[in-house]
Amino acid sequence: MSSLTTSAARAAHARPRPWRAVRLSPYLFIAPFFVVFAAFGAYPLIYALQLSFTRWRGAGEAHWVGLDNYLYLLTSPDFWASLANSAVMWLLIVPIQLVAGLGGAVLLANARLRLRGLFRVAFIAPFVTPLVAMAQVWIVVFDRDYGAVNYLLNLVGLPDVGWLTSTAWSKPTLALLFLWKTTGFAIIILLAGLQAVPGGVYEAASLDGASRWRQFWSITLPLVRRSMAFLVVVQTLAVFQMFAEPFVVTEGGPYGSTTTAGLYLYEHITASDLGTGAANSFLLVLLVFGLSLVSVRLLRPKDGTS
Find out whether 225 and 141 touch, Cβ atoms under 8 Å. Answer: no
Query: Does residue 54 lie in a domain region?
Result: no
The alpha helices in the chain, defined as continuous H runs, are 2-14, 25-37, 43-51, 68-74, 77-110, 116-128, 131-141, 148-155, 170-195, 199-207, 212-215, 221-223, 225-240, 244-249, 261-270, 274-298
Query: Does residue 115 lie in a domain region?
Result: yes
Whole-prediction pTM value?
0.81
Query: Does residue 199 lie in a domain region?
Result: yes
Q: How many CB atoms lie within 10 A of CB 226?
A: 17
Query: Does residue 9 lie in a domain region?
Result: no
Burial of 88 (0-12, 13-18, 19+ CB in 10 A): middle
Q: How many CB atoms lie within 10 A of CB 42?
A: 11
Query: Does residue 33 lie in a domain region?
Result: no
pLDDT in tens, the chain (306 residues): 455 455 545 555 555 555 554 577 788 888 888 899 888 888 988 988 999 898 888 777 888 888 999 999 999 999 999 999 999 999 999 999 999 988 888 887 766 666 666 777 777 788 888 888 888 889 999 988 888 999 999 999 888 888 998 888 999 999 999 999 998 889 888 888 888 887 778 778 787 777 778 878 888 888 888 888 889 889 998 999 899 889 999 888 888 899 999 899 888 888 888 888 889 999 998 988 888 888 778 777 665 444
**What's the domain range around 116?**
70-298
Query: Does residue 41 lie in a domain region?
Result: no
Number of folded domains that form the chain:
1
Query: Does residue 1 lie in a domain region?
Result: no
CATH number for 184: 1.10.3720.10
Distance CA 164, CA 156 (A): 21
